[in-house]
């Protein structure tokens, strides 16, 4: 006879085991459904974006292309287009275009766009989403035929290589995101130029030098809290400090630039830099913390000073982590729109930013601007711009991951 | 108590040493008893049993080696195990003395004892008792007892001297007695050595307990000094 | 106050405090030149703290400070005009876990020399240090490879080589073999016997057999009822392990502590 045990034996044990597995299964299903909901939400978002970026467009020519040239639109050569534009455009308009980029240097596609935009003047009658275009092709064709007898109907991808390199335009069909991309890059570049050295420096000081005490922890707590402050607050700060107070600096008047006010890409960059500064500091601190103490002690043990230890060992080993953090901070800055609106990004600008004192716009601003317009073709290019923004962000995050893996911790 | 296993292993070794000691005791008393009765069969049995004593000694030695190798004894433990190694070898040699007495008994054959044995059994009794108490002192690490026991060696030495003189008189009376006197002298000498070895055990006990090596008393030296004086 | 020339370093009522808490109290140790001195004792008795106080490694611990004197050639290493960097230059340290720099084997040794302003032939120094640490033959063909490619035992010997490259007078070893396998451990102990021809070695270990095997002198530490550690017995290693005077040492070395 076995001695009495407080644990279930035999069948009772198997029964209790079955119960345990059942409970586990229920939880597993719950977790799986949470994941599925997340996937569905993400898919819906992507679908919505892609859905808008492709689809049918119905348009008419306000002036018949045949009035300008006997050649069909699709077969026009660069030379023919040059001649037509030179003849038909007003000399003022032609010179302005020529100043932006000499006509001879422009591509055939560019010239064709100019021809269609300025001379033939396309008039969009309607756009349809990708889903509609694919599922209700016949109905759309019937509708267009009935309503706009002269209209051409074609399936169009709003996201084209052309879209990336074309500046802003008031006509959606000819608008691009070049100005916005360049504006975003300038802004992010300035932001990181400002925030990376300062953030890293602050992190090094906090981690390696600052004496532990109430003052240091106060600063630390503040930095942690600053990372959670709504971005619009940074916009207000940027407006007050960079746009207004430091206008002489941010407008460039200090350096002899005259045609500008404080609402420059520099102000935006500094504002964004301030916004990501806490993130960079916290990230750099984590990276520095991750450098094992044994390494510092090894350096001190052979008679290194604190500075030598930090410069030769702590910093090089923390650098991949710091850079990874910075890239993620860049992604954050790239996606922000609220502070830019406050700081004064232009909503319509077709001139590329060419320096820190330029006026600028940024991708999120551009997207926001387009979605607020009534015409459906602007919603379509907004969708295209969103895809561009998403790809940019994904690329940055991917490079952060690559960097992290490439310099996987050696110790 | 940490190291319970080690503690109980040590206890076991001590028990084994006591068992070995009682075998040796038995052999000493028995060998003299057999001689007194001129019982050759009993003497042969003691010679055979000496093999068991040797076997037991090697068994304990092995046990000690295993403990030293596996438990890495330090300080007191180290002193105890190392000294026990020494003590069992002393015991084994005491067993050899008993065997020697039994051998003399066998070699004497049909020959009668030169004289009835009185002092020699007395020596054996005292030696066995000292041995017994020295091992008790060892097990209990009783420093006072360990220091006192060797003093009784004087009595053994006195008895030995007495026997020596008696036997010399027999030899002088009649040189034909030389061989038989010599046998008894041998026996007495063996018993005297037993008491000396007990002194060694006591010295070890003091070392185990205190960590100090102290020569309690060399009865050997005293004996030879006395011999010198007697000349 | 001048310490006797036969002592490499000498502590005089040295106490180490963390804020208001005294971790190590009133240590008086005279460390003999060119000998190996082991510090043993149960966990938390402050032996590492004491060891680290010898090259002022504790300076990095917030709130940690020392009182009393630590004399090296008549100079108190804790006096105001002594720079801890200078102390660490004279008193090298080998740590519990092998901690080579994430650099090449060569650079591991050269770095310490370079930052200390070494002006001699670097290749020679690297070879000499590796030879002294009994590592040269194993690594001479891969000096430019990462130190992390070495085994744990080799890494620890590299750390020793790195320490002797800056030619300290004393080498502190904080449980240098606790992360190593038994063979590597014995190798380090053997190396210590070589090193003691030129260096005074102070080693903390909780491996009593190691202290017994490798050291000439042993200091036994124990905490008192205020949880402050102190040296309760300091003697020849052979005495400590065969006939300790203090009952607590006896209990500790025979494994009956606690």
pTM metric for this prediction:
0.78
Determine contact, residues C237/C216, Cβ cutoff 8 Å: yes
- Tell me what ipTM this predicted complex has: 0.91
Say if A171 falls within a structural domain.
no
Say if A248 falls within a structural domain.
yes
Residue A373 shares a structural domain with residue A271: yes
**Burial of C5 from C-beta contacts in 10 A (0-12 / 13-18 / 19+):** exposed
Distance CA C203, CA C94 (A): 9
Residues 6+ apart with CB under 8 A from A371: A378, A379, A382
Other Cβ atoms less than 10 A from the Cβ of C170: the count is 20
Residue A220 shares a structural domain with residue A358: yes
What's the pLDDT tens digit per position in A69-81? 777 777 778 777 7
Structure tokens at A114: 């100019």
Domain extent for A117: 53-157
In this structure, the dihedral spanned by the alpha carbons of residues B80, B86, B88 and B89, taken in order and rounded to 10 degrees, is 170
Q: How far is CA C90 from CA A353, B35, B37, B47, C165, in A?
A: 59, 78, 83, 71, 11
Q: Is B175 on the interface with C (CB under 8 A)?
A: no
Better pLDDT: A272 or A68: A272
Question: CA geometry: angle at B54 spanning B50 and B60, to 5°?
Answer: 140
Segments of A22-91 assigned E as strands: 54-61
Residue A371 shares a structural domain with residue A291: yes
Count structural domains, chain A: 2
Structure tokens at C204: 């903390």
Determine contact, residues A361/A179, Cβ cutoff 8 Å: yes
Better pLDDT: B35 or B223: B35
Residues 6+ apart with CB under 8 A from C215: C36, C37, C38, C203, C237
Say if A8 falls within a structural domain.
no
Residues 6+ apart with CB under 8 A from B215: B203
Distance CA C100, CA C94 (A): 10
Structure tokens at A3: 């001695």
What's the pLDDT tens digit per position in C18-76? 999 999 999 999 999 999 999 999 998 999 999 999 999 998 888 899 999 999 988 99
- Residue C250 has its nearest CB partner, among B3, B6, B75, at B75
**Which of B75, B83, B209 is the best substitution to test chain C (most C C-beta atoms within 10 A)?**
B75
What is B90-148 written as a DSSP string? Answer: HHHHHHHHHHHHHHHHHHHTTPPPSS--SHHHHHHHHHHHHHHHHHHHHHHT-HHHHHH
Other Cβ atoms less than 10 A from the Cβ of A94: the count is 17
Residue A127 shares a structural domain with residue A185: no
What's the pLDDT tens digit per position in C181-213? 999 999 999 999 999 999 999 999 988 889 999
Determine contact, residues C71/C9, Cβ cutoff 8 Å: yes
Residue A196 shares a structural domain with residue A296: yes
pLDDT of residue C4: 53
Share of chain A above pLDDT 70, in %: 98
**Nearest Cα residue to A167 out of A345, A356, A360:** A360
- Tell me the chain A residues in contact with residue C92 when contact means C-beta distances shorter than 8 Å: 301-302
Residue A151 shares a structural domain with residue A188: no
- Tell me the chain B residues in contact with residue C258 when contact means C-beta distances shorter than 8 Å: 2
- Per DSSP bridges, beta strands C21-27 and C36-40 are unpaired
Of A157, A190, A213, the residue that ends a domain is A157
pLDDT of residue B223: 61
Say if A254 falls within a structural domain.
yes
Say if A103 falls within a structural domain.
yes
User: Residues of C near B (CB-CB distance < 8 A)?
Assistant: 208-209, 212, 240-244, 249-250, 253-258
Distance CA C122, CA C100 (A): 18
Say if A164 falls within a structural domain.
no
Mean pLDDT, range B172-198, rounded to an integer: 94
Q: Is B140 on the interface with C (CB under 8 A)?
A: no
pLDDT of residue C249: 93
| Of the listed ranges A366-375, B169-178, C146-155, the one predicted with least confidence | A366-375
Say if A347 falls within a structural domain.
yes
Residue A277 shares a structural domain with residue A352: yes
pLDDT of residue C148: 93
Say whether A300 and C57 touch across the interface (CB within 8 A).
Answer: yes
Say if A336 falls within a structural domain.
yes
Of A122, A157, A192, the residue that ends a domain is A157
Determine contact, residues A199/A273, Cβ cutoff 8 Å: no
- Tell me the chain B residues in contact with residue C210 when contact means C-beta distances shorter than 8 Å: none
Residue A104 shares a structural domain with residue A207: no
If you average pLDDT over every residue of chain C, what do you get? 92
């Amino acid at each position: 006879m076995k001695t009495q045990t407080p644990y279930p034996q035999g069948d009772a044990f198997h029964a209790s085991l079955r119960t345990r597995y059942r409970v586990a299964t229920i939880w597993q299903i719950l977790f799986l459904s949470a994941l599925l909901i997340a996937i569905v939400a993400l898919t819906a978002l992507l679908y919505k974006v892609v859905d808008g970026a492709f689809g049918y467009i119905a348009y008419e020519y306000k002036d018949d292309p045949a009035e300008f040239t006997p050649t069909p639109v699709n077969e026009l050569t660069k030379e023919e287009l040059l001649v037509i534009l030179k003849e038909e455009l007003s000399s003022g308009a032609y010179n302005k275009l020529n100043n932006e980029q000499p006509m001879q240097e422009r591509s055939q596609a560019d010239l064709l766009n100019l021809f269609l935009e300025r001379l033939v003047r396309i008039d969009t009658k309607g756009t349809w989403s990708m889903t509609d275009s694919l599922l209700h092709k016949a109905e759309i064709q019937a509708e267009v035929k009935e309503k706009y007898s002269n209209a051409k109907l074609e399936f169009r991808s709003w996201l084209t290589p052309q879209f990336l390199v074309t500046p802003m335009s008031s006509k959606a069909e000819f608008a691009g995101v070049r100005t916005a991309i360049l504006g975003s890059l300038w802004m992010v570049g300035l932001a990181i130029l400002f925030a990376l050295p300062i953030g890293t420096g602050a992190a090094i000081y906090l981690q390696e030098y600052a004496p532990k005490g109430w003052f240091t922890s106060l600063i630390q707590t503040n930095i942690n809290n600053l990372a959670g402050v709504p971005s619009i607050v940074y916009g207000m700060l940027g407006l007050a400090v960079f746009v207004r107070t430091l206008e002489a600096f941010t407008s460039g008047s200090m350096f002899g630039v005259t045609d500008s006010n404080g609402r420059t890409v520099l102000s935006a960059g500094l504002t964004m830099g301030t916004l990501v500064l806490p993130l960079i500091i916290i990230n750099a601190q984590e990276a520095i913390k991750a450098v094992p103490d044994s390494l510092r002690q090894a350096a001190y043990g052979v008679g290194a000073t604190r500075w030598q230890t930090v410069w030769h060992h702590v910093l090089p080993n923390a650098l991949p982590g710091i850079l990874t953090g910075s890239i993620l901070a860049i992604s954050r800055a790239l996606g922000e729109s609220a502070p830019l609106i406050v700081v004064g990004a232009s909503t319509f600008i077709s001139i590329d930013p060419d320096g820190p004192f330029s006026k600028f716009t940024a991708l999120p601003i551009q997207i926001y601007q387009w979605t607020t317009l009534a015409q459906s073709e602007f919603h379509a290019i907004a969708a295209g711009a969103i895809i561009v923004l998403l790809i940019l962000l994904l690329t940055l995050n991917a490079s952060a991951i690559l960097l992290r893996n490439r310099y996987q911790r050696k110790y | 108590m940490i190291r319970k296993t080690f503690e109980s292993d040590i206890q076991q070794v001590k028990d084994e040493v006591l068992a070995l000691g009682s075998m040796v005791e038995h052999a000493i008393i028995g060998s003299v008893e057999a001689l007194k009765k001129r019982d050759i069969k009993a003497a042969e049995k003691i010679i055979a049993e000496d093999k068991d004593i040797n076997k037991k000694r090697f068994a304990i030695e092995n046990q000690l080696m295993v403990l030293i190798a596996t438990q890495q004894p330090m300080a007191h433990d180290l002193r105890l195990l190392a000294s026990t190694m020494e003590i069992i070898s002393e015991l084994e040699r005491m067993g050899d003395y008993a065997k020697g007495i039994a051998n003399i008994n066998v070699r004497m054959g049909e020959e009668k004892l030169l004289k009835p044995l009185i002092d020699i059994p007395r020596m054996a009794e005292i030696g066995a008792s000292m041995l017994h108490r020295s091992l008790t002192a060892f097990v209990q690490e009783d420093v006072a007892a360990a220091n006192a026991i060797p003093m009784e060696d004087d009595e053994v030495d006195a008895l030995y001297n007495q026997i020596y003189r008696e036997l010399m008189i027999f030899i002088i009376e009649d040189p034909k007695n030389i061989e038989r006197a010599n046998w008894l002298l041998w026996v007495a000498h063996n018993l005297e050595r037993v008491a000396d070895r007990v002194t060694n055990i006591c010295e070890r006990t003091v070392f185990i307990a205190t960590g100090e090596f102290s020569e309690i008393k060399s009865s050997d030296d005293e004996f030879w000094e006395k011999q010198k004086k007697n000349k | 106050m001048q310490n006797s020339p036969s002592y490499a370093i000498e502590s005089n009522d040295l106490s180490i405090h963390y804020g208001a808490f005294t971790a190590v109290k009133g240590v008086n140790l005279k460390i003999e030149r060119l000998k190996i001195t082991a510090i043993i004792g149960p966990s938390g008795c402050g032996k590492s703290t004491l060891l680290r106080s010898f090259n002022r490694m504790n300076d990095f611990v917030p709130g940690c400070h020392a009182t009393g004197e630590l004399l090296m050639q008549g100079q108190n290493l804790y006096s105001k005009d002594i720079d801890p960097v200078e102390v660490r230059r004279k008193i090298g340290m080998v740590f519990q876990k092998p901690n080579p720099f994430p650099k090449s084997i060569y650079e591991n040794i050269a770095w310490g020399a370079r930052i200390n302003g070494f002006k001699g032939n670097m290749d020679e120094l690297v070879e000499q240090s590796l030879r002294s640490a009994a590592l040269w033959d194993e690594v001479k063909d891969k000096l430019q490879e990462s130190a992390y490619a070495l085994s744990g035992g080799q890494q620890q010997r590299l750390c020793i080589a790195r320490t002797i490259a800056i030619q300290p007078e004393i080498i502190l070893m904080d449980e240098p073999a606790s992360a190593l396998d038994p063979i590597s451990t014995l190798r380090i102990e053997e190396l210590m016997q070589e090193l003691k021809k030129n260096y005074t070695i102070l080693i903390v270990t909780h491996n009593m057999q190691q202290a017994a095997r490798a050291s000439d002198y042993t200091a036994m530490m124990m905490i008192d009822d205020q949880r402050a550690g102190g040296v309760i017995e300091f003697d020849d290693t052979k005495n400590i392990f065969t006939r300790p005077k203090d009952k607590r040492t006896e209990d500790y070395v025979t494994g009956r502590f606690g």
